[in-house]
Amino acid sequence: MPMNPVRNALTIDVEDWYHDESRGSGPATDAEIALHGPRVEENLRRMLEILEETDTRATLFCLASLAGKHPELLREAHARGHEIASHGTRHLPLGDRKPDEVREDLRRSRETLENLVGSPVAGFRAPFFLREAADLWALDCVAEAGFQWDSSWLPLRYQPAAAEYITPEGLPGRLASGLWEFPLPLSQLPTGHTLPLAGGGF
């Protein structure tokens, strides 16, 4: 008896090493970028080749700032059938910013990417994810910026204060704002520890 194929969702955050503006030493300087060089173009091209070889389509959460530097690369990814979603304009934790600033950043990122690929951008993922219930107010900003779904919540531990936004089981659900939330997946280890199946810098 044939088994039903397993469907998985593959998402990739598209950013360069120097986009992390929250590091302790501050944003990377022009000298640091020149020394180490940008890497996103080479890495994303290789990733697109691997996805093509395996007949796989992915959702690419792209920083809108990349649209000005690598527009043809993002258009190529879209033309190959990959979904272009937003990763914001600046790579800063949303919880550290003011709501008005977050709304403007998200709106601008969506419009920039939509103008680039010529189709609606429906999804968003927050830089550094959303890991604390105190930061979940940002999901209202995501909805107000015109996004239809989000995949930012990383529920490493159950937080009762998050229940207004997220189901206790951490399952996908539709919020009061109309936004669909798809939390990042977790795996429970035999030791009782929780391991996130997402996120990683390479």
Sign of CA dihedral 194, 199, 201, 202: positive
Give the separation between CA 146 and CA 24, rounded to whole angstroms.
Answer: 32
What's the CATH number for 11-196?
3.20.20.370
Q: pLDDT over 90 for what percent of the chain?
A: 49
Specify the higher pLDDT residue, 64 or 132. 64
What is the reported pLDDT for 35?
Answer: 65
Across the range 57-85, mean pLDDT stands at: 94
Domain boundaries defined on the chain: 11-196
Number of C-beta neighbours around residue 177 at 10 A: 15
**What 3-state DSSP class applies to 178?**
coil
Q: What is the pTM of this model?
A: 0.85
Residues above pLDDT 70, as percent of the chain: 77
> pLDDT by residue (tens digit) across 11-29?
999 987 666 765 655 667 6
Cα 132 to Cα 75, 136, 151: the distances in Å are: 34, 7, 14
What's the confidence (pLDDT) of residue 202? Answer: 42
d(Cα 79, Cα 94) in Å, to the nearest integer? 30
- With a cut of 70, say whether residue 170 has pLDDT above it: no
Average pLDDT, the chain: 84
Average pLDDT over residues 51-67: 94
Q: Which residues in the chain belong to E strands, given as ranges? A: 11-14, 59-62, 83-86, 123-124, 149-150, 173-174, 180-181, 186-188, 194-196
pLDDT tops 90 at residue 97:
yes
Q: Residue 144's pLDDT is what?
A: 96
